[in-house]
Chain A
Amino acid sequence: MNVFECRDLSYAYLERYPALEKVSLSVAPGETVALLGANGCGKSTLLKLLDGLLFADSGTFTAFGEEVTEDKLEDEQFNRGFRSRVGFVFQNSDAQVFSPSVREEIAFGCLQLGMSRESATERVNDVLAMLDIAELADRAPFQLSGGQKKRVAIASVLVMNPEVLLFDEPTAALDPRTQYWLVELLEQLRSAGKTIVLATHDLDTLPDLADRCVVFSELHTVVADAPTADVLDDHRLLLDVNLIHERSVRRATSMRHTAPAGAPTAS
């Protein structure tokens, strides 16, 4: 049974601005899928649909074999089951880190899902130590840097130990060290068997992050669904969907030709 099944999902903001047009995809357990596309192609909207935060205008969305609708999420038992199995790391950490202190923030999800204070405290301490942010525990979110906020946002989702993790532009606006810290964390989560769906247009870190890519066109439709290596080799496709530019292809090619033997080449 697939974790997610989407059939012909369409969504428009204010019923006027289309964000998704008949999008179909499936995500198997343990898979890491990247949603690739230029700005405004509908990746973030699809992630919100997969997390039951938005609901499609048409089409069906099934999670863990059950159709997810607004009505069903009103049901407390279904809501609690779904929320504990799917975690979402937002692109804007400021929106996600809303509690008055880091410790409260990380504990929020566990407490909402009915965990006791003692168990939640234990988990919070474990996650703080794992992500190396124990010294931030009693700080207020407004005192944190962008990278620290991202770590807190990730901690606040990991603490719930969801089966599926949704990441919206995880590496955007992060310095290189934090970017690769995140890549390594995602690799660990993959090897632990988590299902990961991430929206990105960062092609540099993609080979480390995803098994499969679902490529969106600027017309909000899915134009390719293939293994990551195949997608990255298809320059024509990447050019068409505005993920690379003619000049970046030319520069990469010329660097390959001018690099001395044995030197690392740009991909």
Chain B
Amino acid sequence: MSAPQWLLQSEVGLCPCGCIGVRRKGSFVAKTLAGASGVMRQAIFSDDIAARNGLLQRLDPRVKLVTMIGTLVVVALVHSLPLLALAYVGTVVLAAVSGLPLGFFIKRVWLFIPIFTGIVVLPATLSVVTPGDVVLPLWHWHGHTHGVTEQGLHGAGIIITRVATSISLVVLLTLTTPWVRLLAALRALGVPKIFVLVIGMAYRYLFLLLDAVDDMYTARKARTLGPDREGRRFVAAGAGTLFGKSHQLSEEVHQAMVARGYTGNARSMSAFRLRTADAVWSAGIVAAAVILLVLDRGVL
């Protein structure tokens, strides 16, 4: 083996004139990858919360899953804004007694609502969509005042509160139940084995593939000088490489499962036991649901 001449000479890394390069913002690829490693941090953080000794953490995951789904249905049926607001306050109280950091919990729910729900309900607040008493005039048309109506605001408030309460319930469930126990609960409630197994493995290998993407990007960044204009091409090529890697890995994983007796019917360690706390919780949730529905239909 003989090395070419250029490899035997050292090269100046920086421009010999001593000029300084232009500082540039990170590309969309860098930002996406930063988000990807955020997923990993988030998962570890969620595991820590699920391991705390709070009210919801002590409940059987099956009971928690069923009662949460039931509560979601009830929240969807309630049409009273004060009652929905009360339900939302209830989720915040549950978060507090389960040891969740309240700032994080509230931010996690309200960060997405303006983006997804706010944009959708915004037109519904206007008199052209929801006629009624204009509380904020915006324009005049043929002698009529148009703008935000009281009825529109009320409707938008109901939708936003309902979405906030529903998201809070789902966040409560996922943050207070370890992922493994949640999957086992799904299985115990009759969700097909293969479905649960696939979700579990997808979650497991998500981190491995995130690592692979991170490595690929870091390796590329280490060899990139100047502005990076090939980001999209890198993403396309990276996706292809990752597809090949994940295919190879899936084959090995399957072999490792077969080697230990897997024949298409996975068995799990999780065994659940119902306790008094689960019964008390279920009774409390049923009572709260009935009260909400009765108040919604009758009094308010």
Contacts of A157 in B (CB 8 A): 260
Give the docked Cα–Cα distance between A140 and B179 (Å).
10
Contacts of B263 in A (CB 8 A): 76, 79, 112
The answer to whether the Cβ of A211 comes within 8 Å of any Cβ in the partner chain is no
Chain B, interface residues (CB within 8 Å), range: 20 to 34
The answer to whether the Cβ of A98 comes within 8 Å of any Cβ in the partner chain is yes
Output the least CB separation between B198 and chain A (Å).
Answer: 12
Q: Are B260 and A107 in contact (CB under 8 A)?
A: no
The answer to whether the Cβ of A230 comes within 8 Å of any Cβ in the partner chain is no
Contacts of A143 in B (CB 8 A): 44
Residues 41-58 of chain B, each 1 if its beta carbon lies under 8 Å from chain A, else 0: 001100100010000000
What number of A residues sit within 8 Å (CB to CB) of B? Answer: 40
Contacts of A109 in B (CB 8 A): 260-261
Interface SS of chain B: helix
Give the docked Cα–Cα distance between A90 and B253 (Å).
10
Q: Are A99 and B204 in contact (CB under 8 A)?
A: yes
Q: Are B204 and A100 in contact (CB under 8 A)?
A: yes
Give the docked Cα–Cα distance between A131 and B78 (Å).
55
Give the docked Cα–Cα distance between A206 and B230 (Å).
48
Residues 130-143 of chain A, each 1 if its beta carbon lies under 8 Å from chain B, else 0: 00000000101111
Q: Are A112 and B262 in contact (CB under 8 A)?
A: yes
The answer to whether the Cβ of A113 comes within 8 Å of any Cβ in the partner chain is yes
Q: Are A88 and B249 in contact (CB under 8 A)?
A: no
Give the docked Cα–Cα distance between A140 and B255 (Å).
21
Given known contacts A100-B203, A140-B204, A84 and B261 CB-to-CB distance under 8 angstroms? yes
Partner of B201, one of A79, A87, A98: A98
Q: Are B261 and A53 in contact (CB under 8 A)?
A: no
| A residues apposed to B, CB below 8 Å | 48, 51, 53, 76, 79-80, 83-84, 86-88, 90, 92, 94-96, 98-101, 103-104, 107-109, 111-113, 117, 120-121, 124, 138, 140-143, 156-157, 160
